[in-house]
Amino acid sequence: MNIYADRGNLLLLERRCAWRGIGFEVTAAGLGDAIDPAVHDLFYLGGGQDRDQVLCAQDLVDVKREALEAAVERGAALLAVCGGYQLLGHSYELEDRSIPGVGLVDVETVRAEGPRLIGNIAIEVELPGIEGPRVLAGFENHGGRTSLGPGERPLGRVLRGHGNDGHSGFEGVRRGNVIGTYMHGPLLPKNTWFADWLVQTALGLDEPLAPLDDELEDAAHASARRAAGVP
Ligand code: GLN
C-alpha cells in the first residue's frame, strides 16, 4: 500500500544510503509474492484506504506473516505507516467486517464512531542509542483508533495532534526493531534523524551513520514542526 506519497520514505532512504556509499535495493512485494526472511534488512508497509487494506490483509497474513516474523526475529527492522501500522496488529474492526492483521505487535484498531483524526502532528520519542527525547513531525489522517496491549510501548508521546486514538496521548508502537506509526508526511524526509536511526538499526550498526549536510532537511523538519505548532 502507498498513500500520501509514502513512497517518498523509500526514496529518502535510497538517497541517504547512496550519499554514504551504502548499497540500497528495493524489492516490492505485491499480492501473492512470498518474502525471503533472510535477505532483507528493512521492511516497509505503507498506508492505505480501508478498501486497499481489505485487499492486502489476507495476503499479508497467509503469504507474508511467517517470513516477516522470522525476519524481525533475526534483527531486520520494520516500519509500518498508518494502514500498514493497523495491519501490523491483530485486526482492524470496521462497522461490517473485521480485517485481519499479522499480529507482530499487540495492538488492535477499531473504526469507532467519530470524525477521522486528521492534521499535523508532532510527537516526542526516545530511541535506543539516541540521546534525549527527540521530535518527529508529520501528518495524520485515519478513521481507525488503535489501542496498545498491556505489554506494548508506544513509539512516542503526542505533543500536538491525535495519535493512536485521539485521547491516550500515545502515538504508534515500537517493539524493538518493529515500528508502527500513524505519521505520514511522508515521515522520513521530514525527520531524517529518524531515517538514519532506522538504517543504522536495520544494518545492526553500533555507531550512528556519518553525518550529511542536512541544511534543507533540517528546514523541512522545522517547517513540519511549525505546522504542528511545535517550533
Ligand atoms: N484506512 C485507515 C484508516 O482510515 C488508514 C488510513 C491511512 O493509511 N491514511 O484508519
Domains of the chain: 8-228 (3.40.50.880)
176-225: pLDDT as tens digits: 999 999 999 899 999 999 999 999 999 999 999 999 999 999 999 999 99
- Angle in degrees, 0-180, between the axes of helices 7-19 and 192-203, rounded to the nearest 10: 70
For a mutational test of ligand 1's pocket, the pick from 49, 88, 145, 146, i.e. the residue with the most ligand atoms closer than 8 A to its C-beta, is: 49
Residue among 45, 50, 56 to mutate when testing ligand 1 (max atoms within 8 A of CB)? 50
Residue ranges of the chain with pLDDT lower than 50?
none
Q: What is the pTM of this model?
A: 0.97
Q: What is the CB < 6 Å shell around ligand 1?
A: 3, 47-50, 53, 82-83, 86, 141-144
Residues tagged active-site: 82, 184
pLDDT for position 4: 75
Segment 89-106, tens digit of pLDDT = 999 999 999 999 999 999
